[in-house]
């Protein structure tokens, strides 16, 4: 009898714990980011929401919350979207979430994704359009320790070359192809999320985003010196310099819906407020990093700030105004997508993308409106800040 | 007082087991070659560098340090505890759904031969579809479902994916158990003129318990794995799966940190299995009925 009583108590306690956890959530989707707005903006958002002045708009990110997307977070936190009559919900990505698929299936209104990844989807029938090319430059690099002496794509020959694959490898392969290094000439190593294989020497030249993995290396103690690694320890092959850079983060919209005047107007408003958000990140990188951190990013503080600063460098200074798709850069991306083969001999696309794949119509209108408001969309005198990374990115 | 001694011995042995694992880890780290042990080109034992194998006490100590340098950041322990409870909750939801669905399927299949022939291949086939293919689909389909006032959330998607893994052992185990009573017992029931329901309650269900318990335990483990992997897959915030991705960034600069969610997963796996153990004790009276061998 007594054992039964004890069992009953234990079972009841367990049931309490379990139901307690599941009743924690308030019913809303946790993939939606709760962006911490400043007090003034939070009240304004509430009021506008209650008055029914806002149109709900959802944005699918390519990855989880991090400063790579700081501009959109800033636009929510600083009420730039609300000023345009938009109530923007940011939806985080995940390992198996393909933003362009989520957008094409109509679950969200806009998505952030890299151009080469989307070109493949478009060829397979996804009806989506690049309406603003936020990142002008590519952040993908191939890094190596100085003693490996890898300074150009030709030096990759006979080396262990790391790549994440899954559509992240094209700039590397195009760069190698330009130096007449074939995939057979290198030992291609599948790279993980972390840089341990690179630090352990299993990978000679590792793929690294300037805003993330490069910093991960610089946050690690060099066992030889007892200090953190420094940029002097590394050689960097930057695909922007080699000429095989491809366009990265862009805002994508649903092609079909762009024939609807309401959606068109909303698209202009969305781009406009997003660019305003990015201008805020340019002028206030520290504050922007804090906004992202408070919205649930788990990255360390110095790593977050580093990322905000590096992402700024991809956007600012802007040649034609943020978001404008440069024809030459687009052509280069398409050309690489058509003509570069990966290790299986496949190319991203087999024919030219349709003319609906991008348009400057909406971003140009957004830029005009921003100019009228006196927002600097070129950032001609932009200067990056100096970020000191801490061990482990803390 | 023998039972008490037995219990003490079990606890002591359990602790010794953990201590042995920890000792093996640290001893290997201390004496193993830095480059690990290689047979030809293949590394059969890992490197012993700080990056590859942090000291056990460093991993433990990491729990008491803040997650990030941000002011007000919680200790890693609190963060992992929260995430573990979150994931455990989702796994429990998935387990419950899986058990209900699995039992229902087993009942149907044991009742009607034709249903068994029609369903069983599909049940088995369902487990050959990789989880990473299912996860985005569940999220997408789910977002189009609205039941009453309840809006489908990503938590629901994770629970469903956990259930997808959990229902299988239950369905197969329960089916086996429901069909386990001796022919003679079933004939006796028929001779008494007892209906299907009655013989289900008095004979088939009790005699399925020995088959059901391992199935439920397997389902609990599957549900935990399903929940964590689904969180990774669809990027749901709040649980251990997402924490694994988030902390991976620190793998080089703060090598002890990515281990924290892994320990969390171990603990919730143990808690889940322990919970089924409790259930087993409740069902103990039925354990020996109707088992032929």
Structure tokens at B82: 């929260």
Could you tell me if B82 and B46 lie in one domain? no
Say whether A140-242 and A39-136+246-393 share the same fold: yes
Residue B145 confidence (pLDDT): 78
pLDDT: is B139 or A112 the higher one?
A: A112
Give the residue among A303, A146, A289 at the shortest CA–CA distance from A218.
A303
Could you tell me if B127 and B16 lie in one domain? no
Could you tell me if B159 and B49 lie in one domain? no
pTM of the model: 0.82
- 3-class DSSP state of A189: strand
Burial of A168 (0-12, 13-18, 19+ CB in 10 A): middle
Q: How far is CA B32 from the centre of its chain?
A: 33
User: Could you state, in order of their start, the residue ranges of all structural domains in chain A?
Assistant: 39-136+246-393, 140-242
* Helix and strand element counts for chain B (H, E): 11, 4
Arithmetic mean of pLDDT over chain A: 89
Q: Is residue A373 over pLDDT 90? A: yes
Q: Is residue A387 over pLDDT 90? A: yes
Q: Which residue has the tokens 């369902």?
A: B126
CB contacts, 8 Å: A29 with chain B: 151-155
Is-contact A183 A175, C-beta < 8 A?
A: no
Among the residue ranges A122-136, A139-153, A156-170, the one predicted with the least confidence is A156-170
Residue B153 forms part of a structural domain: yes
Residue B64 forms part of a structural domain: no
Q: Which of B140, B151, B237 sits opposite A30 (nearest CB)?
A: B237
Could you tell me if B45 and B105 lie in one domain? no
Could you tell me if B45 and B181 lie in one domain? no
DSSP A152: S
Could you tell me if B21 and B98 lie in one domain? no
> How near does any CA of chain A get to the CA of B118, in Å?
32
Describe the strand order of the beta sheet including A234-238 as a list of residue ranges. A187-190, A160-163, A205-209, A140-145, A234-238
Structure tokens at A74: 């800033």
Residue B1 confidence (pLDDT): 54
Residues 6+ apart with CB under 8 A from A299: A66, A67, A293, A307, A393, B68, B246, B249
Is B140 an 8 Å CB contact of chain A? yes
- Residues B14 and A14: their CA atoms lie apart, in Å, by 22
Is B3 an 8 Å CB contact of chain A? no
Q: Which residue has the tokens 């570069």?
A: A340
Is B126 an 8 Å CB contact of chain A? no
Task: Choose from A61, A64, A95, A106 for mutation: most chain B CBs within 10 A.
Answer: A95
pLDDT: is A299 or A274 the higher one?
A: A274
Residue B291 confidence (pLDDT): 47
- 3-class DSSP state of A170: helix
Contact B250 A392 (CB under 8 A): yes
Is-contact B219 B244, C-beta < 8 A?
A: no
Q: What are phi and psi of A95, to 5 degrees?
A: -55, -40
Is B217 an 8 Å CB contact of chain A? no
Q: Does the structure's ipTM exceed the value 0.85?
A: no
Q: Is residue A36 over pLDDT 90? A: no
Count of structural domains within chain B: 2
Give the residue among B87, B214, B82, B269 at the shortest CA–CA distance from B161.
B87
Could you tell me if B14 and B120 lie in one domain? no
Q: What are phi and psi of A352, to 5 degrees?
A: -55, 140
Could you tell me if B116 and B24 lie in one domain? no
Contact B235 A92 (CB under 8 A): yes
Give the residue among B14, B54, B5 at the shortest CA–CA distance from B251.
B54
> How near does any CA of chain B get to the CA of A273, in Å?
26
Q: Is residue A192 over pLDDT 90? A: no
- Residues B88 and B254: their CA atoms lie apart, in Å, by 26
- Residues B101 and A81: their CA atoms lie apart, in Å, by 45
Residue A24 confidence (pLDDT): 41
Contact B88 A18 (CB under 8 A): yes
Task: Choose from A12, A18, A223 for mutation: most chain B CBs within 10 A.
Answer: A18
CB contacts, 8 Å: A296 with chain B: 237
Structure tokens at A28: 């809303």
Task: Choose from B138, B253, B274 for mutation: most chain A CBs within 10 A.
Answer: B253
Is B283 an 8 Å CB contact of chain A? no
Residue B259 forms part of a structural domain: yes
Structure tokens at A123: 């060829």
Could you tell me if B152 and B231 lie in one domain? yes
Q: Is residue A19 over pLDDT 80? A: no
The neighbour count for residue B210, using CB atoms within 10 Å, is 19
Residues 6+ apart with CB under 8 A from B282: A4, A7, A11
Q: Is residue A28 over pLDDT 50? A: no
pLDDT band at A7 (very low <50, low <70, confident <90, very high): low
Task: Choose from A36, A187, A194, A197 for mutation: most chain B CBs within 10 A.
Answer: A194
CB contacts, 8 Å: A28 with chain B: 151, 153
Could you tell me if B48 and B120 lie in one domain? no
Could you tell me if B124 and B180 lie in one domain? yes
Is-contact A328 A97, C-beta < 8 A?
A: no
Residue B127 forms part of a structural domain: yes
Could you tell me if B116 and B254 lie in one domain? yes
Q: Which fold has domain A140-242?
A: D-Maltodextrin-Binding Protein; domain 2 (3.40.190)
pLDDT in tens, chain B (293 residues): 567 888 889 889 989 998 999 999 999 988 888 888 888 778 888 888 888 888 888 888 888 888 876 667 788 899 999 999 999 999 999 999 999 999 999 999 988 889 889 998 998 888 888 887 888 888 888 877 777 777 788 889 999 999 999 999 999 999 999 988 888 888 888 888 888 888 888 888 888 888 999 999 999 999 999 999 999 888 888 899 988 888 888 888 888 888 999 999 999 999 998 999 888 888 877 765 544 44
Give the residue among B275, B276, B283, B263 at the shortest CA–CA distance from B209.
B283
Residue B255 confidence (pLDDT): 86
CATH for B272: 1.10.3720.10
For A196, the closest chain B residue by CA position comes to: B252
Contact B135 A96 (CB under 8 A): yes
pLDDT: is A26 or A140 the higher one?
A: A140
Residues 6+ apart with CB under 8 A from A174: A239, A244, A246, A336, A340
Contact B153 A30 (CB under 8 A): yes
Residue B37 confidence (pLDDT): 84
Residue A23 confidence (pLDDT): 40
Residue B167 confidence (pLDDT): 94
Quick one: average pLDDT of A343-347? 85
| Beta-strand pair A55-60/A110-113 | parallel
Q: Is residue A8 over pLDDT 90? A: no
Residue B203, preceding peptide bond in cis (omega within 30° of 0): no
Q: What is the CATH number of domain A39-136+246-393?
A: 3.40.190.10
Domain hosting residue B6, numbered range: 2-53
């Amino acid at each position: 009898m007594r054992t039964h009583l004890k069992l009953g108590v234990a079972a009841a306690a367990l049931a309490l714990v379990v139901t307690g956890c599941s009743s924690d959530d308030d019913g809303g989707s946790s993939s939606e980011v709760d962006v911490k707005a400043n007090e003034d903006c939070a009240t304004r958002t509430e009021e506008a929401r209650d008055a029914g002045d806002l149109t709900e708009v959802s944005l699918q990110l390519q990855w989880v919350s991090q400063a790579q997307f700081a501009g959109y977070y800033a636009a929510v936190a600083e009420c730039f979207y609300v000023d345009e009559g938009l109530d923007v919900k940011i939806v985080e990505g995940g390992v198996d979430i393909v933003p362009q698929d989520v957008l094409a299936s109509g679950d969200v209104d806009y998505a952030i994704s890299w151009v080469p990844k989307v070109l493949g989807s478009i060829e397979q029938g996804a009806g989506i359009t690049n309406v603003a090319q936020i990142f002008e430059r590519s952040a993908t690099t191939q890094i190596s320790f100085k003693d490996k002496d890898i300074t150009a794509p030709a030096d990759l020959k006979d080396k262990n070359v790391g790549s994440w694959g899954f559509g992240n490898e094209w700039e590397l392969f195009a760069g190698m192809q330009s130096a007449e290094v074939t995939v057979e000439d290198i030992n291609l190593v599948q790279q993980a999320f972390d840089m341990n294989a690179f630090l352990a020497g299993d990978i000679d030249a590792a793929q690294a985003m300037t805003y993330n993995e490069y910093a991960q290396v610089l946050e690690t103690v060099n066992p030889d010196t007892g200090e953190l690694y420094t940029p002097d320890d590394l050689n960097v092959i930057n695909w922007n310099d080699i000429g095989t850079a491809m366009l990265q983060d862009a805002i994508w919209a649903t092609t079909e819906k762009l024939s609807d005047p309401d959606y068109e107007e909303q698209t202009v408003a969305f781009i406009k407020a997003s660019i305003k958000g990015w201008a805020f990140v340019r002028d206030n990188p520290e504050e922007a990093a804090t906004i992202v951190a408070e919205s649930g990013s788990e990255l360390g503080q110095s790593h977050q700030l580093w990322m905000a600063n590096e992402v700024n460098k991809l956007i600012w200074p802007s040649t034609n105004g943020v978001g404008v798709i440069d024809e030459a850069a687009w052509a280069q991306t398409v050309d690489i997508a058509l003509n570069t083969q990966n290790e299986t001999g496949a190319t991203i696309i087999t024919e030219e993308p349709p003319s609906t794949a991008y348009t400057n119509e909406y971003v140009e209108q957004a830029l005009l409106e921003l100019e009228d408001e006196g927002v600097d969309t070129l950032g001609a005198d932009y200067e990056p800040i100096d970020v000191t990374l801490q061990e482990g990115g803390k | 007082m023998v039972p008490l001694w037995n219990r003490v011995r079990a606890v002591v042995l359990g602790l010794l087991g953990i201590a042995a694992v920890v000792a093996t880890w640290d001893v290997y780290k201390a004496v193993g070659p830095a480059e690990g042990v290689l047979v030809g080109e293949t590394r059969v034992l890992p490197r012993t560098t700080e990056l590859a194998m942090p000291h056990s006490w460093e991993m433990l100590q990491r729990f008491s340090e803040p997650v990030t340098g941000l002011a007000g950041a919680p200790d890693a322990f609190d963060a992992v505890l929260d995430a573990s409870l979150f994931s455990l909750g989702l796994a429990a939801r998935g387990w419950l759904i899986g058990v209900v669905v699995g039992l229902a399927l087993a009942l149907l299949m044991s009742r009607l031969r034709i249903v068994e022939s029609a369903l069983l291949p599909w049940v088995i086939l369902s487990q050959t579809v990789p989880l990473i293919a299912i996860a985005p689909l569940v999220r997408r389909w789910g977002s189009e479902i609205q039941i009453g006032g309840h809006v489908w959330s990503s938590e629901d998607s994770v629970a469903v994916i956990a259930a997808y893994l959990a229902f299988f052992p239950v369905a197969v185990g329960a089916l086996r158990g429901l069909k386990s009573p001796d022919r003679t017992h079933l004939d006796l029931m028929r001779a008494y003129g007892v209906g299907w329901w009655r013989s289900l309650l008095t004979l088939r269900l009790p005699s399925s318990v020995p088959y059901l318990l391992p199935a439920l335990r397997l389902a609990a483990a599957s549900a935990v794995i399903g929940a964590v992997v689904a969180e990774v897959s669809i990027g749901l915030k709040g649980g251990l799966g997402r924490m694994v991705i988030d902390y991976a960034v620190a793998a080089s600069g703060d090598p002890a940190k990515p281990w924290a969610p892994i320990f969390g997963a171990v603990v919730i796996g143990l808690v889940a299995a322990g919970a089924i153990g409790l259930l087993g004790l409740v069902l103990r009276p039925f354990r020996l009925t109707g088992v032929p061998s």
